[in-house]
Amino acid sequence: MVLMMGAMAKRSTRKPKRPGASSTDPNRLVDGVLRYMEHTDWLFERGEPAGLVGTVSGSEAASAYWRRHLEASRKSLRARETVSFHEDLPVGQAFGLLLLWKRLKEKLRPREGALVAFVFGEGTRAAPFTEAECGQKPAIRSFVSQKEKETHRLLPIVELALRYFAPVESHLRRSGFEGMVVKWGDEVQIPISDPSGTNPLFEDADIVRFVSMRKITAEDARSKDWVGVDEAGRITAFIPRRPLEQMAPLADRGLLQRRGDDLYGGINLGSIAISRLLLDLLLEEFEHDVLDPRASRGDRPDLDPQLFTALTIARISEREKREREWSLARAESEAIMKLENKSPGILCRLRRVLELFRRRHGREARMVAMDFEDQYWGDIGQHRQIYDFYMALAGEGPGAKIARALASLPDERDANGNILAGGTVLGEKVRASGSVLIDVRIDAGEIVNSVLIGTRCNELNSDHAFDIQSVAKKMNLASRSGAYRVISGEPVEARTGQRLATIFLSGSEMLLRANESTDLRDLAASYDVPILGNEMSFRKAHKLVTATDPERIDRRRSKKRVELLTEGK
């Protein structure tokens, strides 16, 4: 059974930034990620992934979309049940976790695991690819396929993200953690840390944060958020980005590790695991706030840095020290000052929760960190990242090796430097070099250093570009351009840096284009008005596709594909 809940506006979440330059050597990164991937395969073949898998989204249409998708994917996810919740109350990020728990807890069986992805936002910076997928950026297809009956299905990016977070949840549960694991966003994160076996650090843990432990450099101090972690793996603080010279006093307060002359902390990788016991008490304290339909979303706390910082300070048993740390946190962070103003008394309320936890369960709540060490990131947040994500298949270096392993491609190339897979068929008039072609049918054209997946084209010319599942009579893709599920009987051209996608509405379809250099965050100039000759704005297209039944869109796309593929035969 899949559960859908009610109606709400979009909600943004603060996403962690990538750790940046690898803290390990390239070989260690590749070897570690490949071992983790092997364990993931084992987990889904013979292990025990989470029994309950789901999503939380920001609209009724999105919830309906993911309800259908997750149920169709339930067997491959090996889930007993899938859930698709609509966050229909103005809870914000932190209280959103408690609303999720209120609706999830009755579905969760004893000792069963739960893995849920929060998939919010309109995918503005990925338009028009987002609109090609019914307004759901997490539904954008990855380059990883899964065989279903006689066909191969390209996994949506969020399903791939959940698949590779499943070993994290499984490792925690196997180690004695009981609760839910929430994956922020749709980035694919694959750690190099070992997810097999058990770790006593996570037994009876009540909060687990995911970090990459490393020496703090001046650049990382300014650009990353940090989790303070002591030598035993216990969390000491949440530390928003700041200049390196402001980090040293935090080590003097015991919030960061000092190793010789260097400071060490954990780069915040987002996501969180919370125990059933702590969730119950937090919900008991804040349930009235969570269920208040008249609250202002802007007044609700976010998780990082606001509520999590308050929780780490509320854990301090000595009142004088606790109040001193709270005063310092307010002075150091505008976000914490805002939290105090919008939610007066929240520190006292959290302290009450932790004291009640100790009385009921005979121990202190445990907050610890899981060190991913280093990780592969697959990100489609905006068009430059989308280009890098797909083009990695044809590239060099550790990220390219990992991408090809994800796609089950060999590293070996033919005499022209190509990797041909998935039954690719090229006509005699096709010249291809330095490219990765998967399940491609092309009759004529020139393909240079490109990535094509599922492409069907009579004539295709592509230069350092990508295409995903397009069907066209003729298509030209210039340098750094990309096409996504374009279906056209007319010639199609993407100029340098452009992105193309065919959008299906209730009774028509149209080609929309963007450019990777366009600032799609500038809504007035690029999102709310038509650009680059488009028939309508991305805003209007988004509104129309999210109001249309996804199954109807899929039927229209499939019909159009068949018509083009069979025309003239």
Q: With CA atoms as reference, report the closest residue to 103 among 204, 6, 184.
A: 6
Instruction: Find all residues with CB under 8 Å of 482, minimum gap 6, and list them.
Output: 383, 386, 387, 390, 465, 466, 467, 468, 494, 498, 499, 500
Tell me what pLDDT residue 24 has.
Answer: 64
pLDDT band at 550 (very low <50, low <70, confident <90, very high): confident
pLDDT of residue 7 exceeding 80, the answer is no
Task: Give counts: helices (H), strands (E), the chain.
Answer: 16, 27
Global confidence as pTM: 0.93
Which of 64 and 22 is assigned the larger pLDDT?
Answer: 64
CB-CB neighbours of 415 under 10 Å = 6
How confident is the model over 36-87, as pLDDT tens digits? 999 999 999 999 999 999 999 998 889 999 999 999 999 999 999 999 999 9
How many Å apart are CA 564 and CA 569, to the nearest integer? 10
The secondary structure of 248-270, three-state, reads HHHHHCCCCEEECCEEEEEEEEE
How confident is the model over 224-251, as pLDDT tens digits? 999 999 999 999 999 999 999 999 999 9
Three-point CA angle 48, 369, 156, nearest 5°:
50
Question: Lowest mean pLDDT: which of 8-12, 199-203, 266-270, 558-562?
Answer: 8-12
Q: With CA atoms as reference, report the closest residue to 37 among 152, 174, 193.
A: 193
How many Å apart are CA 58 and CA 89, to the nearest integer? 10
Amino acid occupying residue 454: G
pLDDT band at 11 (very low <50, low <70, confident <90, very high): very low
Tell me what pLDDT residue 147 has.
Answer: 73
The residues spanned by each domain of the chain are 26-376, 409-566
Tell me what pLDDT residue 549 has.
Answer: 86
How confident is the model over 445-454, as pLDDT tens digits? 999 999 999 9
Question: Three-state DSSP class for 184?
Answer: strand
Q: How far is CA 541 from CA 18, 135, 146, 394, 498, in A?
A: 31, 9, 30, 32, 18
pLDDT of residue 21 exceeding 80, the answer is no
Tell me what pLDDT residue 5 has.
Answer: 30
pLDDT band at 424 (very low <50, low <70, confident <90, very high): very high
How many Å apart are CA 33 and CA 42, to the nearest integer? 14
pLDDT of residue 6 exceeding 60, the answer is no
Cβ-contact 421, 433 below 8 angstroms: no
How many Å apart are CA 455 and CA 293, to the nearest integer? 47
Amino acid occupying residue 491: P
pLDDT band at 17 (very low <50, low <70, confident <90, very high): low
Question: Lowest mean pLDDT: which of 126-135, 518-527, 560-569?
Answer: 560-569
* Residue ranges of E strands in 464-539: 466-468, 471-477, 482-484, 487-488, 492-494, 498-504, 509-515
How confident is the model over 98-131, as pLDDT tens digits? 999 999 999 999 999 999 999 988 899 999 999 9
pLDDT band at 12 (very low <50, low <70, confident <90, very high): very low
Which of 19 and 345 is assigned the larger pLDDT?
Answer: 345
Tokens for 231, please give them: 């030598």
Tokens for 364, please give them: 């202190």
pLDDT of residue 1 exceeding 70, the answer is no
Instruction: Find all residues with CB under 8 Å of 350, minimum gap 6, and list them.
Output: 285, 310, 311, 314
pLDDT of residue 9 exceeding 70, the answer is no
- Whether cis (ω within 30° of 0) applies to the bond prior to 305 is yes
Q: What is the mean pLDDT of residues 358-380?
A: 96
Tell me what pLDDT residue 4 has.
Answer: 31
Q: Are strands 262-275 and 207-215 parallel, antiparallel or unpaired?
A: antiparallel
Q: What separation, in Å, do the N-terminal and C-terminal C-alpha atoms of the chain show?
A: 44
pLDDT of residue 407 exceeding 50, the answer is yes
Question: Lowest mean pLDDT: which of 183-187, 201-205, 352-356?
Answer: 183-187
Tell me what pLDDT residue 146 has.
Answer: 85
Q: How far is CA 466 from CA 458, 462, 476, 511, 534, in A?
A: 17, 8, 11, 17, 21
How confident is the model over 462-496, as pLDDT tens digits? 999 999 999 999 999 999 999 999 999 999 999 99
- Average pLDDT over the chain, rounded to an integer: 93
Tell me what pLDDT residue 569 has.
Answer: 58
- Whether cis (ω within 30° of 0) applies to the bond prior to 195 is no
Q: What is the mean pLDDT of residues 152-175?
A: 96
pLDDT band at 364 (very low <50, low <70, confident <90, very high): very high
Amino acid occupying residue 71: E
Tell me what pLDDT residue 142 has.
Answer: 97
State percent of the chain over pLDDT 70. 95
Tokens for 401, please give them: 């090796």
